Amino acid sequence: MPDKKTAALILEDGTTFHGFSFGASTSVSGEVVFNTSMMGYPESLTDPSYSGQILVLTFPLIGNYGVPGDQMQDGLLRFFESDRIHIKALVVSDYSFEYSHWNAVKSLAQWLKENDIPGIFGVDTRQITKIIREKGVMLGKVAVEGTPVPERFEDPNKENLVAKVSCREVTTYGNGKRRIVLVDCGCKYNIIRSLLVRDATVIRVPWDYDFTTIDYDGVMLSNGPGDPQMCGATIANIKKAMKIGKPIFGICLGNQLLSIAAGASTFKLKYGHRSHNQPALMVGTDKAVITSQNHGFAVDTAKLDEGWEPYFINLNDGTSEGIRHRSAPFFSVQFHPEATSGPVDTSFLFDYFIQNIDDACKAQKK
């Protein structure tokens, strides 16, 4: 074992798991969450929705296929979901120091060290997950031998994480016939890719940018981290966009922001939805879809304004998985239709969004 430094995961309730360090030699604090996927750690670590969080992977062996290179495609890193790692620390059961994959250029440990992210292995990640599922999401610290440990348990949800991960300036991708404004609240690259392949020009704007001043055909509200109530500026712009009436599609945090703009409220989930096999039912039908999810807050649809209705519900716990307007071209979902973790049951929602745009453009020309 190349790195013999010890490390520990210390939970807010005092439970401590002892293991070994395989990333950067630094100690951090954050919110401890779990992910049940079997693979996809390069994508998960670069997902802005994990900002401020200590990520626990339940799959037992991690690192065996290394980390891909930084090839670009359409102005985006081809094999990642953003331009950097967003987690505070990584916790795994068994780390593979040897990796093998045609596309790998470095080990996971090397990648973590380059980005000053600590990793710990040799701990019972399934027991950690069980504690979170019974007691709820809690704060934690990763303490690496020989480094100063933060005195406090830091709660990332008390800061505006969206402002931290959003882009700083307007950027345009592609040259398609449909002009789509993407409100970047912590956007995953695959949302952009999913729009580009559908003949769109994507205009990516910061989270608090007044996009209603732009000439556009539709609005995409991206995913992102943290408490949606922190995004007052975005919510105000969404309300303005709803008055304009052009199609709107929200994903994950975007669903929560559209819901708030439509009169609903949000609340913190006990342990969040952070898995790749969440079943969701399309309301009013017998159609169930398998979804990929990553969020800690949910929507209470009880106070939705007139004209709105639930779109999907979670078949595990009955929480809202999306809303839609009965007459206007506005809808959103809590899950990730852009995900390609296996099932792609909900990619049709992008086609639905594009059809809304085309229909609106035709109606405007008449």
The residues annotated as belonging to the active site are 252, 336, 338
DSSP state of 160: -
CB 219 within 8 A of CB 248: yes
Distance in angstroms (rounded) separating the CA atoms of residues 167 and 205: 7
Instruction: Return the closest-CA partner of residue 99 out of 55, 47, 54, 39.
Output: 39
Structure tokens at 328: 């206007």
* Separation of alpha carbons 329 and 289, rounded Å: 22
What are residue 236's phi and psi, to 5 degrees?
A: -60, -40
State the first-to-last Cα distance of the chain, in angstroms, to the nearest integer: 70
- Name, in order, each residue with C-beta under 8 angstroms of 157's C-beta and a sequence gap of 6 or more: 31, 52, 226, 227, 268, 296
Scanning 80-185, the segments in alpha helix (DSSP H) are 108-114, 125-135, 161-165
What values do phi and psi take at 49, rounded to 5? -65, -20
Choose among 98, 95, 109: nearest CA to 60: 95
81: CB partners within 8 A, 6+ apart: 43, 44, 46, 47, 48, 188, 189, 190
